[in-house]
Structure 1
Amino acid sequence: MYCDYLVQILTARVYDVAQESPLEPAFNLSRRLKNQVWLKREDMQSVFSFKLRGAYNKMAQLPPEQLAQGVIAASAGNHAQGVALAAQQLGTQAIIVMPVTTPQVKVDAVRARGAEVVLYGDTFDDAYTYARQLEVEKGFIFIHPFDDPAVIAGQGTIGMEILRQYQKPIHAIFVAIGGGGLISGIAAYVKRLRPDIQIIGVEPVDSDAMYQSLQAGRRVRLSQVGLFADGVAVREVGEETFRLCQQYVDEILLVSTDDICAAIKDVFEDTRSILEPAGALAIAGMKAYVNRTGIQGQTLVAVACGANMNFDRLRFVAERAEIGEQREAIFAVTIPEQRGSFLKFCTCIGQRNLTEFNYRIADDREAHIFVGLQVKDRTDAQQMALTFEQAGFKTLDLTDDELAKLHLRHMVGGRSPLAEEELLYRFEFPERPGALMKFLASMSPNWNISLFHYRNNGADYGRVVIGIQVPTSEMPEWQSFLDTLGYRYWDESQNPAYKLFLA
């Protein structure tokens, strides 16, 4: 069915609950990126996210008899708060199904609005399936988080505001993508009036459903999604949002967890506000775009779309932001175990600031040092590695090695002559009660754990690295265990950092 989004956006009912959020200059980012950077501050809405726009617009248009039945929604948090607020404003009952991995700050905020919260599943898709089941059982009206023209139009009012607030030339608008409702609404409006403005979507590398779908020319369903940016952890984009993105979106950029953490820090330094990971996606993508294209002197707008951040997660963000900003590099450096070597190593470092230093004697011939250094950029890091090599020290750059950054930095010096036939695997699982025990209880008692490291980073998912001694004859059983466990995993047995420090 044809929908004139220009009309729908111009007549959308959002301002009963939403404010026209500020479009603010980001002076520090502008100076660093050599472009004029503007932030559309949707994190300043009453629910700290843009999602109340679409939810309210949809619900305000429901016939009174449908609204009186009550509404139900599935959400990782921000849409849930929008629906809860709209239900409170319109005087109807709301049930919200949220993944069990949802940050507590979002769960509490939804309950505070008077909605009933049902926690179910590990991802948005799990919650969505259960919500559709409850919709039938209870006779409630389902409010889709993104694949609904009224929801899309509500989010599109952000594009309308941007063009009203900044009437000079704009090179590009950067928008986070989960299911695609936000970028679809903004693009549908902006491209009708200012087709010269590029609309650029941003997704995490491990939740890239829209990117893969546009590449394939059809909607692609991901088998798994990353959980760090929970607000965009969607396995399959909507039918209508996919159609609109095909028509209007110029490009989609993919960014890493480290990039997102760096963007959170960037926005904090400019605004003293802390965005959630999904909320900082657009800023991370904008930085990647400038780095790739080298553009200067242009006007760039990034939508800061959410700020529902768990405080405990900040530990992880702070730890990874320096790497994401390319201001920290991590190296494994091997030096001879002889007089003068350590002094020579320190001379190579010079006046640089150390961010981390781990050392333990390995044998009587050589020592392995795990070191973190502040650098200006990746070129500076490469020059540092070259300096070590020219001094005669074997050097391994671990800056992009996930195992080293998450685990090995805390475990240097853990060799054991008893760890024969050791396999090393890295696992990621939803951080909820019983998840770790499920992992341990499902393993065969014949397999000996030779190494184990787990660290709670305040995120929505836990990480474990495990050394396991599995007899060769039982490798089929081990593979079967991996296949049925249901957790993401990586075989790190050939990882060079593992071989250097632990094997």
Structure 2
Amino acid sequence: MATKLAATATDLPVSIDDVRAAHARIRDAIVRTPTLLSKTLSDLTGATVWLKFENLQFTAAYKERGALNTLLLLSDEAKAKGVIAASAGNHAQGLAYNAKRLGVPATIVMPTTTPTVKVVQTEGHGANVVLHGDTFDAAYAHARELEAERGFTFVHPFDDPRIIAGAGTTAIEMLEDVPAIDTFITPIGGGGLISGMATVAKAHSHPVEVIGVEAELFPSMYNRINGTSMPCAGDTLAEGIAVKEPGGITAQMVHALVDDILLVPERALEESVSLLLQIEKTVVEGAGAAGLAALLQHPDRFKGKTVGIVLCGGNIDTRLLANVLLRDLARSGRLARLRIRLQDQPGALYNVARIFDQERVNIIEVYHQRVFTTLPAKGLITDIECEARDRAHLERLVEALRTAGYETSTVELA
């Protein structure tokens, strides 16, 4: 990373006192989510891994903290006029839910492309949802127009000291529960969460390293801090941190307080979502799994450390979650698609199936391909989806098929 600014707490927009005050303000109205030791992940990575389950907040994300802190700091006049935000994600839910509890009118502007389930959920929290534009930028611009026209207070998802202070209360609780934590691994989107957590970390009684994590497809804060210009685009699993432009306030705080930023590939995000469900029996979205993804990608970097990771959100589409889990099974060798060349004659498939039976591998689906193939007219390709115990079991099956004379290959995932 670039050389850090020589910043003191008084130079920055948010201080440890701001975060402590925010915690006193909001703590009775949010879930005090647990910070729990993961023995399995600790054994797997060589670090002592503590997980903060912010996916257990009512709206399943830490965003409630900053939204509530901001609402409580508004004047009575501002509360009466109402608040507005542009968001299709966790910020919308957190703001709408807490505004309804406090009797503050809330308007959320979302792109017209927002999935219906998110619109319905936000409306269910009592917000007035306005659909405008095809992109977030268009929705954001319209929200600022409505702010000016109607006297609403705009609540930014990350680039606001009140939001940052609220987000930092996550770290207050983690260090109260586990004072021995010496490293935070924290997702970065716009930078609100890591700015608040770093404020707390650098005021702790012993040094706490703060490591940020971004998806490789959206290295926006990495670019800002390091002066690079890597592209920010693509379909990332971690859409909650897929931010093209980080905040000005947050960039200042990250530059001053954060020790390093790591980038993680999509495959690591998928693996982490799957591992958290299998090991911790908890559902996280891609952004919520980014901290673990960085730990898995860089085990030597964190070996021997006492690591605190925020599972910052759990709002993931169920169909997407199913795809992630199935892809992880395929990569581990428990699910596979084998492509086998056969002769188009009676008994051909039966003879192959006997080998699957002998190796005790379950056949799930069979696909014959006779037309769109480069084989002679009497040849065919058969794809067989199957379920094995593990990678070694699958490899024994493939070897048995090849020994029996069948040309066999595996269809690999990206």
Q: Is this a same-fold pair by TM over 0.5?
A: yes
Aligned to 1:92: 104
8 Å CA contact 2:111, 2:131 repeated in 1: yes
Equivalent position to 2:15, from 5, 27, 33: 5
Q: Which runs of 5+ in 1 are unaligned?
A: 402-503
Distance in 2 separating the partners of 1:237 and 1:131:
18
CA deviations 1:144-199 (Å, max 9, x no partner) are 000111111110111111111102243x3222222111111111211332674332
Distance in 2 separating the partners of 1:313 and 1:10:
37
Aligned to 1:182: 193
Change in CA separation of 1:381 and 1:127 when aligned onto 2, cut-off 3 Å? farther
8 Å CA contact 1:260, 1:284 repeated in 2: yes
What SS is found at the alignment partner of 1:11?
helix
Aligned to 1:439: none
Distance in 2 separating the partners of 1:376 and 1:87:
49
Aligned to 1:482: none
Q: Which runs of 5+ in 2 are unaligned?
A: 1-10
8 Å CA contact 1:225, 1:234 repeated in 2: no
CA deviations 1:212-261 (Å, max 9, x no partner) are 3333268x883x34364332232211111122222232333333444333
Identify the range of structure 1 (142-151 vs 298-307) with the bigger mean alpha-carbon deviation. Answer: 298-307
8 Å CA contact 1:258, 1:320 repeated in 2: no
8 Å CA contact 1:98, 1:118 repeated in 2: yes
In the TM superposition, what are the counterparts of 1:146-225 in structure 2 within 5 Å? Answer: 146-170=158-182, 172-193=183-204, 196-216=207-227, 222=232, 224-225=233-234
**TM-score using structure 2 length:** 0.79
What SS is found at the alignment partner of 2:81?
coil
Equivalent position to 1:75, from 87, 104, 124: 87
What SS is found at the alignment partner of 2:213?
strand
Distance in 2 separating the partners of 1:210 and 1:137:
32
2:219 paired with 1:226: no
Q: Which residue identity does 2:185 align to in structure 1?
A: F
Change in CA separation of 1:185 and 1:179 when aligned onto 2, cut-off 3 Å? same
Aligned to 2:245: 236
Equivalent position to 1:260, from 259, 269, 281: 269
2:128 paired with 1:116: yes
Aligned to 1:316: 323
CA deviations 1:435-454 (Å, max 9, x no partner) are xxxxxxxxxxxxxxxxxxxx
What SS is found at the alignment partner of 2:88?
coil
What SS is found at the alignment partner of 1:186?
helix
Change in CA separation of 1:244 and 1:387 when aligned onto 2, cut-off 3 Å? farther
CA shift for structure 1 position 117: 0.9
Distance in 1 separating the partners of 2:44 and 2:215:
23
Distance in 1 separating the partners of 2:404 and 2:103:
72
Change in CA separation of 1:91 and 1:398 when aligned onto 2, cut-off 3 Å? same
CA shift for structure 1 position 376: 5.9
CA shift for structure 1 position 317: 2.7
Distance in 1 separating the partners of 2:364 and 2:353:
19
CA deviations 1:376-425 (Å, max 9, x no partner) are 67x99999999999999888775343xxxxxxxxxxxxxxxxxxxxxxxx
In the TM superposition, what are the counterparts of 1:344-355 in structure 2 within 5 Å? Answer: none
Equivalent position to 1:288, from 297, 300, 322: 297
8 Å CA contact 1:187, 1:249 repeated in 2: yes
8 Å CA contact 2:37, 2:51 repeated in 1: yes
Supply the RMSD in Å over aligned alpha carbons: 3.8
Change in CA separation of 1:45 and 1:359 when aligned onto 2, cut-off 3 Å? same
Distance in 1 separating the partners of 2:319 and 2:165:
35
Distance in 1 separating the partners of 2:286 and 2:266:
8
Distance in 1 separating the partners of 2:320 and 2:67:
27
8 Å CA contact 1:77, 1:98 repeated in 2: no
8 Å CA contact 1:207, 1:226 repeated in 2: no
Distance in 1 separating the partners of 2:82 and 2:255:
34
Work out which structure has the larger RCO, using CA pairs closer than 8 Å and 6 or more positions apart in sequence. Answer: 2
What SS is found at the alignment partner of 2:298?
helix
Distance in 2 separating the partners of 1:153 and 1:80:
18
Aligned to 2:8: none
What SS is found at the alignment partner of 2:172?
helix
8 Å CA contact 2:14, 2:199 repeated in 1: no
What SS is found at the alignment partner of 2:202?
helix
Q: Which residue identity does 1:276 align to in structure 2?
A: E
**TM-score using structure 1 length:** 0.66
Distance in 2 separating the partners of 1:15 and 1:382:
53
CA shift for structure 1 position 209: 1.9
Q: Which residue identity does 2:246 align to in structure 1?
A: V
CA shift for structure 1 position 72: 0.4
Distance in 1 separating the partners of 2:397 and 2:302:
28
8 Å CA contact 2:13, 2:249 repeated in 1: no
8 Å CA contact 1:123, 1:233 repeated in 2: no
Q: Which residue identity does 1:309 align to in structure 2?
A: I
Aligned to 1:42: 54
Aligned to 1:491: none
What SS is found at the alignment partner of 1:39?
strand
CA shift for structure 1 position 374: 5.5
Distance in 2 separating the partners of 1:8 and 1:201:
22
Instruction: Among all aligned residue pairs of Structure 1 and Structure 2, give the percentage whose two residues are the same amino acid.
Output: 33
Q: Which residue identity does 2:170 align to in structure 1?
A: I
Distance in 2 separating the partners of 1:71 and 1:249:
31
CA shift for structure 1 position 102: 3.8
Distance in 2 separating the partners of 1:132 and 1:386:
63
CA deviations 1:259-306 (Å, max 9, x no partner) are 33332232223343322232222222322222xx28655433221111
Q: How many residues align?
A: 393
8 Å CA contact 2:338, 2:409 repeated in 1: yes
Distance in 2 separating the partners of 1:193 and 1:165:
13
Aligned to 2:307: 300
Distance in 2 separating the partners of 1:75 and 1:63:
23
8 Å CA contact 1:78, 1:106 repeated in 2: no
Change in CA separation of 1:29 and 1:335 when aligned onto 2, cut-off 3 Å? same
8 Å CA contact 1:38, 1:299 repeated in 2: yes
